[in-house]
Amino acid sequence: MAKAKKAKASKKFDVDPLSFTPYKEKKGEEYMNEKQEAHFRSILEKWRQTLMEEVDRTVHHMKDDAANFPDPNDRASQETEFSIELRTRDRERKLLKKINEALDKLDAHEYGYCESCGAEIGIRRLEARPTATLCIECKTLEEIREKTYG
Ligand SMILES: [Zn+2]
């Protein structure tokens, strides 16, 4: 029945959600001008789309399998599998939230600036981590603090 759908879904991470053409800045180009904002909007939206399809797949997978194991032992191992899937979904949900926040920032033309010091986060860093909210210096400081104070 849902065979075609499953085969497609099993491709899971074949498509890199972050595959895109790196942005080429012109000399003297203004940071986060319209073109740059459009560039990151397209990256974030594509990423969100991929994630949402992934979340969908997980839900369907859990529903499909729930009825397939009448044996209690099978059920137990299946429940472990479910809890892994739930954790995955939780991670996906958090990531989706970050992506949405980044898109909100783009709407407000606040995207790409460090939340801590206001510096430009930088195009290359944002392409590596489109949901980054801190510049590399502040991020490093934060990590040191986290290591020190747990
Ligand atoms: Zn900073």
Instruction: Assess whether 118 and 149 both reside in one domain.
Output: yes
Domain count, the chain: 2
In-domain check, residue 5: no
Per residue in 113-146, pLDDT tens?
999 999 999 999 999 999 999 999 999 999 999 9
CATH of the domain at 65: 1.20.120.910
Distance 90 CA to ligand 1 centre (A): 28
Q: Does 102 reside within a domain? A: yes
Q: How far is the CA of 119 from the centre of ligand 1 (A)?
A: 5
The Cα diameter of the chain in Å comes to 67
In a shared domain, residues 79 and 138: no
Going by C-alpha positions, the residue among 34, 37, 44, 18 that lies closest to residue 101 is 44
Residue 104 neighbours by CB under 8 Å, 6+ apart: none
Span 54-71, average pLDDT: 72
User: Comparing 4-13, 88-97, 116-125, which segment has the lowest mean pLDDT?
Assistant: 4-13
* Token pair belonging to 139: 């991020």
Whether residue 94 is found in the same domain as residue 124: no
Range of the domain at 58: 31-111
Q: Same structural domain for residues 74 and 136?
A: no
**14 or 37, greater pLDDT:** 37
Residue 71 DSSP one-character state: S
62, 99: one domain: yes
Q: Assign 14 a pLDDT band (cuts: 50, 70, 90).
A: very low
Helix, strand, coil share of the chain (percent; to 5): 65, 0, 35
> What's the mean per-residue pLDDT of the chain?
84
Taking residues 61-65, report their average pLDDT. Answer: 69
Residue 97: pLDDT band with limits 50, 70, 90? very high
Cα torsion 33, 48, 14, 122 to 10°: value is: 30
Q: What phi and psi values does residue 35 have, to the nearest 5 degrees?
A: -65, -40
Quote the ligand 1 centre to 36 CA distance (angstroms). Answer: 20
